[in-house]
Amino acid sequence: MQNNTQEDIIEIEFPIKSGDFVAAGDASSKTKKLLKQLGIDPEIIRRAAIACYEAELNLVIHSLGGSLILTITPSELVIKTQDIGPGIADVDLAMQEGYTTASDSARELGFGAGMGLPNIKRCADNVEIVSELGQGTELTITIKTNK
């Protein structure tokens, strides 16, 4: 059992803009850099960077904007996104490989392969999606850092 104090926990919030393909990836590259500085295991960093990038991109592509909140505790990384947007009608369907509702313009830029959520699932120890149609989506990814 660990008794975490407030100082053991780092929390950072990155605002994410809808449609901003230039800034897309900033939150995940900053996350990767920070995890490296903290000396986190490279395999954990690899998984966190993929999950973070896919989560971030989903806000850029599918939402009207929101934020990504990274929480680092002594035992886990939590990557949470919260957005305002269309929400996800069928979460099980959205989790399937190849399923996408990305626009033609996003696809022309090379996005919308429908692999983001399946990749997030592969990289995470736990994934939770709470979505309300016409309101928005909250995605919570947990990656354990101590086995």
The residues binding ligand ADP (CB under 6 A) are: 54, 58-59, 61-63, 83, 85-88, 94, 99-102, 112-118, 137
The listed partner (Mg ion, ligand ADP, none) that binds 65, CB under 5 to 8 Å by sort, is none
Go through 5-28 and write b for each residue having 16 or more CB atoms within 10 A of its CB, e for each that does not: eeeeeeeeebebeeeeeeebbebb
63 binds Mg ion (CB under 5 A): no
Query: What is the nearest approach in angstroms of ligand ADP to the Cβ of residue 104?
Result: 12
Residue nearest to Mg ion (CB): 116
Query: What is the nearest approach in angstroms of ligand ADP to the Cβ of residue 61?
Result: 5
Give 87 or 116: the residue with its C-beta nearer to Mg ion: 116
Stretch that binds Mg ion, among 8-16, 55-63, 83-91, 125-133 (CB under 5 A): 55-63
Q: Looking at 58, 63, 81, 140, which residue binds Mg ion (CB under 5 A)?
A: 58
85 binds Mg ion (CB under 5 A): no
